[in-house]
Structure 1
Amino acid sequence: MTSARKRRYDIAVIAGDGIGLEVVPAALRCLELVALRHEFTLDLTEYPWGSAYFQAHGAMMPTTGLDELAKHDAIFLGAVGVPEIPDVETLWGLLIPIRRTFDQYINLRPVRTLPGIPARVVGAGDVDLVIVRENVEGEYSAVGGRIYVGEPHEAAMQEAVFTRRGVARAARFAAELATTRSNRLTSATKSNGIVHTMPFWDEVVADTLAGYPGVSVDKVLIDALAAKLVLDPAGFDVIVASNLFGDILSDLAGAIAGSIGVAPSGNLNPEKKHPSMFEPVHGSAPDIAGQGVANPVGQLWAGAMMLEHLGEPAAAADLTAAFEACLADGLRTRDLGGTASTAEFTDGVAARLTA
């Protein structure tokens, strides 16, 4: 891994599918400019993995793929998935193995209203919250299967797996984050209906938070939480949630704050024993792929999160300020009600990074 003295970072780049092939190059251009400005180097290795690779080779990445990625300081991902290939092949062939092999047990998803982008909920105010999603177990386990396949009484079973270690470390990360913000934490649950895993979640979260007496925790049922998030998104700060609940809440919150097209995420191995991975939330968006109109903000913001994780907070702040300034000046892509192309928005960000 990278020595802090060298300020040189090895980055694996997987543009992937759909608009990932457009927004990743846009973000890399800006990342290289901000690196030059702050006098560090990003050594980029691009891997042509994804659905096109699957169609040619029958797999989303080669058998040596994870070994290759392990050599890097971070992974910069665009998007995964095309309509022609089932998600169970694309996601479980690339994204999920990366998350689990490298123990990226935190999915960090900041959500806030950006300049020039009004919240989609009237009276929402300024939204500024972070969702801490447990990222490697929970409802997205691979435990289960089908029986009586092809028969009228065919059945499918999917097991949710919650471990004390998994829940505790997610709760601990969220509590530590809350101490740097408002000391307020919301825990998403459904312990009135899911009678084993969710009461266990509540118990472990409570046990963990006992070590943080300055942090207040509010346990909220997921259905009520979704409603409150729509009605009063500004009333939340840090939300900790299981894999499924965190996934749903982060998309909902991103849409409320203005557009899912601007939302970033970091798949973190907080101890940095393995590379972490940074990606936008928006997915491959095949309906607009190849048109040059994709919003690069989610990828740019994911890049800023990567710089922060690598230990370059000033560069991360500069990159964020650059795309926020573009938005504030009215430069917006089609999904935000503007007319700018991907290239035009990227040019605007680049101009601010070289001014």
Structure 2
Amino acid sequence: MTTVAVVPGDGVGPEVIDQALRVLDSLGLGLSFDVLDQINAERFRRTGVAMSHEEMVRISSARRVLLGAIGDPRVQQTGYARNVLLRLRFELDLYVNHRPAVLLDDRLSPLRDPARRSIDCVVVRENTEGAYIGSGGVLRSGTPQEIAIDNDISTRHGVSRVLGYAFSVARRSVCMVDKSNAVPFGGGLWQQCWADARSAHPGLASSHLYVDAAAMKLIQDPTAFDVIVTNNSYGDILSDVTSQLAGGLGTAASANLNPEQGVGLFEPVHGSAPDIAGQGIANPVGAVLSAALMLDHLGRGAEGDALRGAVRKAVSARRCTPDLGGQLGTEDAGAAIAAEVQ
């Protein structure tokens, strides 16, 4: 039996994860869920423990993690989120952040031109390097001469392997995005690795854009893209753009992967949304589609496609939450997806 570690987390996380588990159960796959609902901000506020060694061992043993959301406005210390999310990413070496964006229904696109609405692309974001790793510091703190430094780290090993992954999942083309005209050192390394990757994959179309031009092109015609690969911070921004073009952040799914080790963490992109937590109105689609990515990772692609098809049918019939044009709450929206699966 395949065991999946489940971390519901904070805010709307437990609400949407409940629906993802409900939909997974409707497939009858016999998955076993190891639920670690004690990993949350409430415990951290009481004890200062974000995630214990024993909990990390349980998650590592399962090798697949379904996560709801981490974050609580009552916890101001960045150490809580870093000691859960970033610890998982770094200790499991989840160097790929895979964020697909597929338009679920034509009415959800913000674009006027119908010919350009059908976005169907993937943002592949390098996940363990870049500006988010916490390298830097502050000098002369609290003085008028205070200096804050955040280092943006790129390594040949890290860049090369994420570019290789991007080519491995491409259907038509890969676009590498950087800002090497203004950020010459890290950008120069990305350019060198990009030239090597293109040479190793001559059968696929490839292109390069600076990040500002890529953002404009996405708004102009998102159908031009298949796979976009970029660094941690640019990928964070561009994947939010693609999710909005596909129907909104509530529909966005992600997979944090180490393809060689067969390890993955799957989570909706929307975060903990504390302003609507506990109201029963959170959109479960991002969590369900993250579960579908997990099924793909488990070699259950047909079942993953079944979940995606069920989501499309439910959304097209407006059996969904208000942000997608329906009138259902979280539980009823999850039930509607499960009914389409059955």
TM-score, normalised via structure 2 length: 0.96
Tell me if 1:189 matches 2:189: no
Partner residue of 1:334?
322
| Change over 3 Å in CA distance of 1:27–1:110 after alignment to 2 | same
Match of 1:99 among 76, 81, 89: 89
Deviations 1:102-159 (A, max 9, x none): 0111000000100364211221321100111111012222221112222222211111
CA distance in structure 1 between the partners assigned to 2:77 and 2:16 by the alignment: 21
Partner residue of 1:305?
293
CA distance in structure 1 between the partners assigned to 2:264 and 2:272 by the alignment: 20
Partner residue of 2:104?
114
CA distance in structure 1 between the partners assigned to 2:63 and 2:137 by the alignment: 36
8 Å contact kept, 2:106–2:117:
no
CA distance in structure 2 between the partners assigned to 1:73 and 1:153 by the alignment: 47
Deviations 1:333-352 (A, max 9, x none): 12123211111111112222
Tell me if 1:168 matches 2:160: yes
CA distance in structure 1 between the partners assigned to 2:86 and 2:152 by the alignment: 16
CA distance in structure 2 between the partners assigned to 1:62 and 1:86 by the alignment: 20
8 Å contact kept, 2:7–2:39:
yes
1:217, distance to aligned residue in structure 2 (A): 1.6
Partner residue of 2:21?
28
Tell me if 1:12 matches 2:1: no
Residue 278 of structure 2 aligns with an amino acid whose one-letter code is G
| Change over 3 Å in CA distance of 1:100–1:288 after alignment to 2 | same
Residue 100 of structure 1 aligns with an amino acid whose one-letter code is F
Tell me if 1:244 matches 2:218: no
For structure 1, the residue ranges without an aligned partner over 5 or more in a row are: 1-7
For structure 2, the residue ranges without an aligned partner over 5 or more in a row are: none
Residue 87 of structure 2 aligns with an amino acid whose one-letter code is P
8 Å contact kept, 1:172–1:209:
no
Match of 2:332 among 344, 351, 354: 344
1:330, distance to aligned residue in structure 2 (A): 1.7
Deviations 1:314-338 (A, max 9, x none): 2111121112111111212121232
| Change over 3 Å in CA distance of 1:197–1:203 after alignment to 2 | same
Q: How many residues align?
A: 339
8 Å contact kept, 1:115–1:325:
no
CA distance in structure 1 between the partners assigned to 2:276 and 2:2 by the alignment: 32
1:41, distance to aligned residue in structure 2 (A): 1.7
Match of 2:33 among 31, 44, 57: 44
Partner residue of 1:286?
274
Deviations 1:53-97 (A, max 9, x none): 211211221233322211103000000111111362232121011
SS of the equivalent of 2:65 reads strand
> Once structures 1 and 2 are overlaid, which stretch shifts more, 66-75 or 94-103?
66-75
Partner residue of 2:74?
84
Tell me if 1:232 matches 2:221: yes
Tell me if 1:177 matches 2:172: no
CA distance in structure 2 between the partners assigned to 1:103 and 1:256 by the alignment: 30
| Change over 3 Å in CA distance of 1:32–1:103 after alignment to 2 | same
Residue 31 of structure 1 aligns with an amino acid whose one-letter code is L
8 Å contact kept, 1:264–1:302:
yes
SS of the equivalent of 1:41 reads coil
SS of the equivalent of 1:70 reads helix
Match of 2:134 among 122, 129, 142: 142
8 Å contact kept, 1:117–1:327:
no
Residue 143 of structure 2 aligns with an amino acid whose one-letter code is E
CA distance in structure 2 between the partners assigned to 1:116 and 1:222 by the alignment: 27
Map 1:63-74; keep pairs closer than 5 Å: 63-74=53-64
- The runs of at least 4 consecutive aligned structure 1 residues that moved more than 3 Å come to none
1:247, distance to aligned residue in structure 2 (A): 0.7
CA distance in structure 1 between the partners assigned to 2:77 and 2:203 by the alignment: 42
CA distance in structure 1 between the partners assigned to 2:324 and 2:337 by the alignment: 16
